[in-house]
Chain A
Amino acid sequence: MSARMSALATLRSQIERIETAEVVHHQGRIALGHSEVDRALKGGLARAAIHEVFCAGSQGAAATGFVTGLAGRVTAQRPLLWVRQDFSERETGALSMSGLAELGLDPRLMVMVRATDVESALRTSADALACDALGAVVLELWGETRQFDLVASRKLTLAAQSSGVTGLLLRMAAQPLPSTAETRWMLRAAHSPPGSAWDAWGAPRFDVELLRNRHGPCGRWIMEWKCDECQFSEPSAYPQPVAAAPAYRPDPAVFQRAG
Chain B
Amino acid sequence: MIHALDEAAERLGLHIGQPLANARAMCPDLKVFDADVVADAKTLSDIADWCDRFTPLVALDPPHGLFLDITGCAHLFGGEAALLRTLVLALGRQGFAVSAAIAGTSVCARTLTRQATGIIVADGEEAAAIDRFPVSALGADETITTGLRRAGLKTIGDVASRAPSEITARFGARFSTLLAHALGQGDAPISPRKPLPDYIVEKRFAEPIATDTMIAMTLSRLADTLIASMEKQGKGARRLEAAFFRTDGVVRAIMVETGRPVTQSKVIDRLFRERLDALADPLDPGFGFDVVRLSASRTEIVVQEQRDLDAHVHDNDELAALIDRIAARIGGKRVVVHLPQDTHIPEQAVLAVPAQHHLAVAMQAEWPARVESEPPLRPLRLFDKPEPVTVPFATVPDGPPHQFTWRRAKHAVVRVEGPERIAMEWWRQDGKQLTRDYFRIEDAEGLRFWIFRDGLYEGEVFDADGKSAPPRWYVHGLFA
Contact = CB atoms under 8 A, between A and B. Distances in A.
B335 A113 contact: yes
Interface stretch (A4-12, A41-49, A151-159, A202-210): A202-210
Interface string A131-153: 11110000000000000000000
B379 A99 contact: yes
Given A61-B478, A101-B367, A204-B479, A112 B338 contact: yes
Given A113-B326, A134-B319, A225 B480 contact: yes
Contacts of B415: 192, 197-201
A127 B325 contact: yes
B319 A111 contact: yes
Contacts of A20: none
Interface string A77-114: 01101000000010011111111111110111111111
B437 to A, nearest CB: 14
Contacts of A250: 444
A251 B414 contact: yes
A198 B373 contact: no
Nearest to A100: B380
Interface of chain A, helix or strand or loop or mixed?
A: mixed
A92 B326 CA distance: 25
Interface string B446-477: 11100000000000000000000000000001
Interface string A215-243: 00000000001011000000000000000
Contacts of B350: 96-98, 107
Give the interface centre of B322, B364, B402 by most chain A CB atoms within 10 Å.
B322
Interface stretch (B5-13, B16-24, B296-304, B381-389): B381-389
A103 B376 contact: yes
Nearest to B418: A199
B378 A191 contact: no
Nearest to B406: A58
Contacts of B325: 127
A33 interface: no
A151 to B, nearest CB: 18
Nearest to B355: A111
Contacts of B337: 110-112
Contact of B326 (A108, A127, A203): A127
Given A61-B448, A133-B315, A228 B322 contact: no
Contacts of A225: 480
A3 B24 CA distance: 95
A97 B338 contact: yes
B278 interface: yes
B311 to A, nearest CB: 9
Contacts of A59: 447
B318 interface: yes
Task: Give me the 7 closest cross-chain CB pairs, A-B, nearest first.
Answer: A65-B480, A61-B478, A93-B381, A102-B376, A133-B318, A99-B380, A96-B382
Interface of A: 58-62, 64-66, 68, 78-79, 81, 89, 92-104, 106-116, 120, 123-124, 127-128, 131-134, 188-192, 197-207, 225, 227-228, 250-251, 254, 257-258
Given A97-B338, A99-B479, 15 more contacts: A95-B381, A96-B382, A98-B346, A99-B380, A107-B340, A110-B337, A112-B336, A192-B442, A199-B415, A200-B415, A204-B448, A227-B374, A227-B375, A251-B414, A254-B414
